[in-house]
A and B are shown apart, each in its own frame.
Chain A
Amino acid sequence: MSVTVAPIAVAERRQRTTLRERIQQFVPKLVLAPSFLLVLIFVYGFNLWTVFLSFTNSRAFTSFTLVGLANYEKLWTWTFETDPPSSWYTAIVNIGIFGGLYIVFCLALGLTLAILLDQKIRGEGILRPIYLYPLALSFIVTGTAWKLFLDPGIGLEKAVHDWGWTSFKFDWVVNPRMMIYCVAIAGIWQTSGFVMAMFLAGLRGVDGEILKAAQIDGASAYATYRRIVIPIMRPVFLSAIIVLAHMAIKSYDLVLSVTGKNPGGAAELPSTFMYSYTFTRNQMAVGSTSAVIMLMTIAAIMIPYLYSELREKSQ
């Protein structure tokens, strides 16, 4: 009897587990499906829609008349108009300055702050949120505050003059040529605390045994960080750069609030260019074209970077 019963019980159990396994496999898919569908339509679908619009002559509303590469030719000519600078040329130069400074300084400041905070100092619990706090503000608040702070008539310059140093001059925020640097300062102030938090988490993840071994080998603190800790944190750099790069490219409210609506057309960024052409200048096709060019540029930088970083990791 027992010989005949046992296989049945085993078979039943197997069936039950497969059902359970099936449900287990199915549930995550079910949960992810709506967001996947939304992303598919609202991100990739609209990406394709934007690409399509860039080949049409859409103005205030979408149009389905194809005009070939005319919009791309227009932007291509604008890319090389330097005297007087076309808005598109200014936008490209500015994103280079702003994006470069923003990413480099955020990384450098974030890493430095994280290393300093990691020295088992007293009051870390208080200091950490203080550095992180700016991220809780919206960019428009940051921008307005920095604009007021840097305004020579009421802010920093006036304060220093009142203290007696009357030859002090800091008028970047009202000088169209220097404005973009002020945008970068405000952006760095806002985000470097966040980068610090990322690095701090990375530092806490470094195995203490390795550090002890380095200490025993007589490595200096500098060499330990330079040769051991920072290389270990390479994945954190990857995440930080991705987060910072996309924040730099999508920054819109920050530049408008710091510069005061783009005087002299000198504070143009690709994002402001795209928005104004699409929504206020009724040249939707040109706006879409600039959006596609932005996307392609990002893709050209990010895809090889991601590819090399992630491939190395899997090896």
Chain B
Amino acid sequence: MKPRSLLLTSAMAVLVLGLAATANAADIKEVQMLHWWTSGGEAAALNVLKQDLTKEGYAWKDVPVAGGGGAGAMTTLKAMVAAGNPPTASQILGYFALDYAEAGKLGDITALATKEGWDKLVPAALQKFTTTNGKWDAVPVNIHSVNWIWLNKAVMEKIGGTEPKTFDEFVALLDKAKAAGVTPLALGGQPWQEATMFDSVVASTGGIDFYKKAFIDLDPAALKSDTMKKAFDNLAKLRSYTDPNYAGRDWNLATAMVIKGDALVQVMGDWAKGEFRAANKEAGKDFICYRFPGTDGAVIYNSDMFAMFNVSADRKAAQLAMADATMSKSFQSAFNVIKGSVPARMDVPDTDFDMCGKKGIADVKAANANGKFLGSLAQNYAQPPAVAAAYDDVVTKFFHGEIKTSEAAVTELIKAINNAK
């Protein structure tokens, strides 16, 4: 009976949204923006864009759909697009943008992109998601990277730890924390968090080139290699450093453990910095950020983008204004300072950023130049959603002991990926 009620609700959503959209169709000076940035820090960051556009005379029509990760927002978006009333723009992640582009639902902002020279400023790897056959149809707002670790400085000093450079040193550091009676690793045991951590573990175990072969190229030899088994074994090692109650914990609660000093370190993308900031903690003074041990120089990214939909002619001017405002240097700087990520264009000065932000900006530049700027599989930037979800499944089942050995995990991973293709 669930599918029925679901379909009914979505159909009703379509109707309601459709009515709402038609009512406003005549209003040209308005941007309709669908997003899931509803938490404090995120909403504040988005507010910067809202103010920029208001200055230019465009009204902002918010379509927020709460729920981290955007699963709910993606469902709403699908309903709006299917009803023929797409929003001016929508927050979107990686492969979902490609799906809409393939279905011919996205607009064309190439003229603006060429005028502004975005193809020179945005990392080539990201342009895979913002362009379709050379046509620009989305703008990147930021670049997050997932291969970070966040440490409580006071705890670090108490146990006399130093920056770990390799995975083994990381394990040694965790041991030290354990001996001192602190929870070494703050982890939220949810599939996406475990998979996000595993992205870094793979890059650390086999090197970033191995990560590329296995997860970007899906090379079967790399997927079933001993290196991949070792990566699973390394992941299992990390499990023994969590507290017993980690299963099902939300990521921000895990970050709070590090903020309060109950735990030493969290492996998480740089959105975790937003939590530290919200708790009035300062980078370098209260907390430290390092690249995940063994991945320095490489950036495993994900990015928030605004997909520009194929709207009616009278809404196009507002759409272009919005794209332009999103890509402006001032917005990219102001937004990302608040959000914890780094700008998606490479010519934004890092003066306003804290030390983690500065390192992030430099890392992205260097990694982009050296071909070490790669999409995160767990965050939908390496493979289509079906494959990424299959990967999450295998990692979480292994992490919680449903899959018992790394040998079996590798077999399951290949099988799951083939099933999802």
Contact = CB atoms under 8 A, between A and B. Distances in A.
B408 A84 contact: yes
Contacts of B396: 262-265
A129 interface: no
Interface of A: 42-43, 46-47, 49-50, 59-61, 74, 84-85, 87, 147, 151-153, 171, 173-176, 179, 246, 249-250, 252, 259-266, 270-271, 274-276, 279-283, 288, 291, 294-295, 298
A268 to B, nearest CB: 10
Contacts, number: 140
Given A264-B396, A264-B402, A282-B386, 10 more contacts: A61-B82, A176-B400, A250-B1, A260-B248, A265-B191, A279-B78, A281-B389, A281-B420, A295-B1, A295-B4
A174 B246 contact: yes
Between B2, B99, B188, B401, the greatest number of chain A beta carbons within 10 A of the residue's beta carbon is seen for: B2
B393 interface: yes
B248 A147 contact: yes
Contacts of B189: 174, 260, 263-264
Interface of B: 1-8, 11-12, 71, 74-75, 78, 82, 96, 99, 103, 188-192, 194, 243-250, 384-386, 389, 393, 396-397, 399-404, 408, 412, 419-420
Contact of B1 (A151, A179, A276, A298): A298
B11 A46 contact: yes
A262 B190 contact: yes
Nearest to B103: A61
Contacts of B403: 84
Contact of B250 (A246, A260, A266): A260
Contacts of A263: 189-191, 194, 247-248, 396, 400
Contacts of B11: 42, 46
Given A84-B412, A260-B250, A282 B78 contact: no
B1 A246 contact: yes
Contacts of A261: 190-192, 248
27 contacts: A46-B3, A46-B4, A46-B11, A59-B386, A84-B403, A85-B402, A151-B245, A153-B243, A173-B247, A174-B244, A176-B247, A246-B1, A250-B2, A259-B248, A261-B190, A261-B248, A263-B189, A263-B248, A264-B191, A264-B396, A265-B397, A265-B402, A274-B3, A279-B74, A283-B386, A291-B2, A294-B2
Give the interface SS of chain B, mostly helix, strand, loop or mixed: helix
A152 B399 CA distance: 20
Contacts of A174: 189, 244-248
A61 B99 contact: yes
Contact of B402 (A250, A266, A283): A266
Nearest to B249: A260
Contacts of A249: 1-2
A283 B421 CA distance: 10
Given A61-B103, A264-B401, A43 B4 contact: yes
A288 B386 CA distance: 15
A47 B4 contact: yes
Contacts of B78: 61, 279
A282 B384 contact: yes
B248 A271 contact: no
Nearest to A42: B8
Contacts of B247: 173-176, 179, 260, 263-264
Contacts of B194: 263
B74 A280 contact: yes
Contacts of A153: 243, 245
Contacts of A246: 1
A152 B403 CA distance: 25
A105 B244 CA distance: 30
Contact of A264 (B1, B399, B420): B399
A275 B402 CA distance: 22
Given A50-B3, A265-B393, A281 B245 contact: no
A274 B6 CA distance: 10
A274 B1 CA distance: 12
B103 A260 contact: no
Contacts of A262: 190-191, 396
B13 to A, nearest CB: 12
Nearest to A271: B2
A279 B400 CA distance: 25
A288 B384 CA distance: 19
B385 A280 contact: yes
B248 A281 contact: no
Nearest to A85: B402
Nearest to B98: A60
Contact of B8 (A46, A280, A282): A46
- Which A-B residue pairs are the 5 nearest by beta carbons? A260-B248, A264-B400, A291-B3, A60-B99, A174-B247
A121 B404 CA distance: 56
A46 B7 contact: yes
A73 to B, nearest CB: 12
